[in-house]
Amino acid sequence: MRRMSAKFLVCMLAVAIGCKQEQQGGGNVGAADTAAIKVGEVGSMTGTEATFGTSSHNGIQLATNEVNAAGGIKGRQIVVIALDDQGKPEEAATAATRLISSEHVIALLGEVASTRSLFMAPKAQAAKVPMVSPSSTNEKVTAVGDYIFRACFIDPFQGYVMAKFATDTLKLKKAAILRDVRNDYSVGLAKVFNDNFTKLGGQIVDNQSYSSGDVDFKAQLTNIKSAAPQALYIPGYYTDVGLIARQAREVGLTVPLLGGDGWDSEKLYEIGGTALEGSYFSNHYSVDDPSPRIQEFVAKFKKAYGGQVPDSLAAQAYDAAGMLYDAMKRANDISGPAVREALAQTKDYRGVTGDITMDDKRNATKPAVVLRVGKGGKYEFSGRIQPEGMKESNPTEAPRANPDQPKKTEGNTAPNAAPGTTPTPTQAPAPGATASAQNAASTGQRQGVPAGEHSKK
Amino acid sequence: MTDFLQHLVNGVSQGAIFALIALGYTMVYGVLQLINFAHGDVFMVGAMVGYYAAKYSGTSESPGIPSAIGITLLSMLACGLLGFTIERVAYRRLRSSPRLNSLITAIGVSFLLEYGGQFFLGPNPRKADVLPSGSPLTLGGVSIGSVDVITIVTSCLLMFALQRIVFHTRMGTAMRAVSWNPSVAALMGVNVDRVISFTFVLGSVLAAVAGILYSAKYAKVEPLMGLMPGLKAFVAAVLGGIGNVPGAMLGGLLLGVAEQLVSGYVSSSWKDAIAFAILILILLVKPTGLLGRGQPEKV
């Protein structure tokens, strides 16, 4: 017995020495000027919103690999250090602190959820580390300070998009709202939807709430059913929305459900099933969008991840990372303040989800799409909505010469709407014959008018 | 009026599940004066076993009645074994030590199951297809889901069966004897260890059924799912008078209905606060719980 433990001790010692040597070896390389640029990523890789984190991670990886393959930034490679926050705000703050103080990252990418971004942002701001959230749409996120950016539009816009779509395209007069009171994102969207829907001549007949993680929504749904709305707006996250959809049908509420980008997950349909068919939600992009820029991205993503179709979170994360790397290339040096300056000057960055321009509040200005949940959980492209009073007006830029994107007049030119264009829901584009038939069938539109031509008028 | 009836139906269906879990708490408390905080997690294990059984037996989205029964029996068996093991490994050797020790051990077992589940199975919620689903029935404007019907009927049958076991079998008599006074019962030739094991198994089996019903009703299974229902079932057991079998049923139903009515007529944010306020009020007026007596008719 004693001999055994002595042997064991020797083994342990050997292992320990081995480790130490390895560590030293690693440390020596890090001193040179050509060291890799460290970028931190915080995401919910597990938990109730796990697909948000994993999709974003894939998008970021894809963007990073492309930049690294093309020689990196200023001759330096990029290393992304990703930490899981399990979908918990406190964990997100801890992860951000850890990345900043012990990993010394140059910039942070994340979080998807607004609540968690709000926990991370003060840490990034205090340490003067630029933070780019791919998909946090709550207004408050970038208001934390001048180091906080986002690659997506903000809640008021999403709420506006759905209100506009409901009144103009679906011709609805009465809607009800069911919002998640524990979620800044949901409360924000609900408020803007409420204001805009009323302003556009509609009526909110009932306004109910739930808390994320609840499993029983029947009491609220019973009340909503009695108020007889024509649609129910649920700006929540996919797990809750899936359950709500099922229970809505169980209490006999059969109207279409409307939502925001928090619905975007494969799990939505897995949980909600057929109860969700015929519902609509606003989103950042659509894989069915015929724009070559999007199709090229979809093909690259599928190739990299074994045929997996990128959801909008993956596309947004890809854009957020791309935007950050673009800013790093333009920055005078690779330091927090210099990268921040370059990020703030981002103009017409040609992202997958549209041309991104930073406004003075560090929010991205770009259009949104509305998707319909079809049979079998397929998302059908049903329209595109422009930002209200969009400042960016470069109509001549639409056919801008770009060898990479020869057919740029289609689909994705929408952000460059004509000057003074009042917000109009652009109708579904009709690219190929099959897709156009499907779109026309689902939205009852005329065929054969590409979106690009609409916006050029 | 239709709304009220609908809230009532929703509440009864939710309360029936609380009641099934509450029975396990109350029976264990009856024989051991131990609040078995791991009970909510046994419920979770029941739902998990159901989920995996359905997944690997390859049933469709709406399994037939035979496979649903098979899944439920398997889950009952697994939870029965788990309950037996927990009592044998964790609680038995602490039976003569101060009650606080057992209580803390119970909390430890609960965390072990929760975070062990999270570690080994992953924290992501998944959708369980364990019971046949059909379109909801509509009776005079009130709609009742097929799962709700199954829940209410199954719960009633099980509670009736439990009542038979406790009051009309030899084992039930022994359980009641142990709950009155374990040492006297032992002197009378009752095998106390066996009775206690049996109580744990019985409670866990009921929790397994509750887990299956819950996962079918809410279509969501995850390792921390036992936390809230477990806590509420405990409240239900205290509300009805802990240690009292009909009290647990009544408490569960009341809590379910109260939650639905508060969500329906006040606000869902208040439902837990008000449900717990009701508990405090009842206990102020009647410290032994609704059906509890000075010398409760324990099990």
Q: Could you report the predicted ipTM of this complex, rounded to two decimals?
A: 0.79
Interface-testing mutation among B1, B3, B6, with chain A (most A C-beta atoms within 10 A): B6
Structure confidence at residue B61 (pLDDT): 66
**Which among A215, A223, A249 is the nearest to B218, CB-wise?**
A215
Structure confidence at residue A399 (pLDDT): 34
- The pLDDT tens digits for B223-247 are 999 988 998 998 899 888 888 888 8
Is the Cβ pair B125, A48 closer than 8 Å? yes
Is the Cβ pair B219, A246 closer than 8 Å? yes
DSSP annotation of A165 reads I
More confident residue, B190 or A391: B190
Chain A partners within 8 Å of B220 (Cβ):
215, 239, 243, 271
Chain B partners within 8 Å of A270 (Cβ):
127
Locate the DSSP E strands across chain B: 137-139, 142-144
- CA atoms of A427 and B101, how far apart (whole Å): 68
Searching chain B, which residue's CA lies closest to the CA of residue A269?
Answer: B127
Residue B206: domain span: 14-234
Residues near B124 by Cβ (< 8 Å), separated by ≥ 6?
A46, A47, A48, A50, B222
Is the Cβ pair A222, B261 closer than 8 Å? no
Searching chain A, which residue's CA lies closest to the CA of residue B124?
Answer: A47
- CA atoms of B243 and B299, how far apart (whole Å): 6
Banded pLDDT at B48 (limits 50, 70, 90): very high
Is residue B99 in a domain? yes
Interface-testing mutation among A46, A216, A238, A267, with chain B (most B C-beta atoms within 10 A): A216
Is residue B32 in a domain? yes
Is residue B252 in a domain? no
Chain B partners within 8 Å of A220 (Cβ):
263-264, 268
Per-residue pLDDT at B271 exceeds 90 = no
Distance from CA of B132 to the nearest CA of A (A): 14
Interface-testing mutation among B115, B135, B220, with chain A (most A C-beta atoms within 10 A): B220
What separation, in Å, do the N-terminal and C-terminal C-alpha atoms of chain A show? 88
- The pLDDT tens digits for B35-44 are 899 999 999 9
Structure confidence at residue A109 (pLDDT): 95
Locate the DSSP E strands across B59-128: none
B278 reaches A (C-beta below 8 A): no
Chain A partners within 8 Å of B267 (Cβ):
209
- The pLDDT tens digits for A155-167 are 888 899 999 999 9
Structure confidence at residue B299 (pLDDT): 54
Structure confidence at residue B60 (pLDDT): 63
Chain A partners within 8 Å of B268 (Cβ):
208-211, 214, 217, 219-220
More confident residue, B197 or A267: B197
Structure confidence at residue B83 (pLDDT): 95
Structure confidence at residue B59 (pLDDT): 66
**Which among A214, A222, A252 is the nearest to B10, CB-wise?**
A222
Structure confidence at residue B293 (pLDDT): 62
- CA atoms of B248 and B19, how far apart (whole Å): 6
Say if residues A387 and A366 touch (Cβ distance below 8 Å).
yes
Distance from CA of B177 to the nearest CA of A (A): 40
Structure confidence at residue B294 (pLDDT): 54
Structure confidence at residue B205 (pLDDT): 95
**CA distance readout (Å), B173 to A8, B80, B179, B193:** 57, 21, 10, 15
DSSP annotation of B242 reads T
DSSP annotation of B238 reads H
Domains contained in chain B, number: 1
**Which among B14, B138, B263 is the nearest to A220, CB-wise?**
B263
Structure confidence at residue A153 (pLDDT): 87
Structure confidence at residue A57 (pLDDT): 95
CATH superfamily, region A156-283: Response regulator (3.40.50.2300)
Is residue B255 in a domain? no
B10 reaches A (C-beta below 8 A): yes
Distance from CA of A261 to the nearest CA of B (A): 20
Give chain B's mean pLDDT: 87
CATH 3.40.50.880 correct for A37-153+302-365: no
Chain B partners within 8 Å of A214 (Cβ):
268
Task: Report domain extents, chain A.
Answer: 37-153+302-365, 156-283
- CA atoms of A135 and A151, how far apart (whole Å): 7
B215 reaches A (C-beta below 8 A): no
Chain A partners within 8 Å of B269 (Cβ):
181, 209, 211
Tell me how far apart the 2 most distant CA atoms of chain B are, in Å: 59
Is the Cβ pair B3, A210 closer than 8 Å? no
In this prediction, the residues of chain A whose per-residue pLDDT falls under 70 are 1-33, 388-457
Structure confidence at residue B180 (pLDDT): 86
Per-residue pLDDT at B260 exceeds 60 = yes
- The pLDDT tens digits for B133-181 are 777 778 777 888 888 888 999 999 998 999 899 889 999 999 999 988 8
Domains A37-153+302-365 and A156-283 agree in fold: yes
Length of chain B: 299
Structure confidence at residue A338 (pLDDT): 93
Distance from CA of A219 to the nearest CA of B (A): 5
Is residue B280 in a domain? no
Q: Which two tokens stand for residue A103?
A: 């990993």
**Which among A209, A246, A252 is the nearest to B267, CB-wise?**
A209
Is residue B193 in a domain? yes
**Which among A211, A218, A270 is the nearest to B260, CB-wise?**
A218
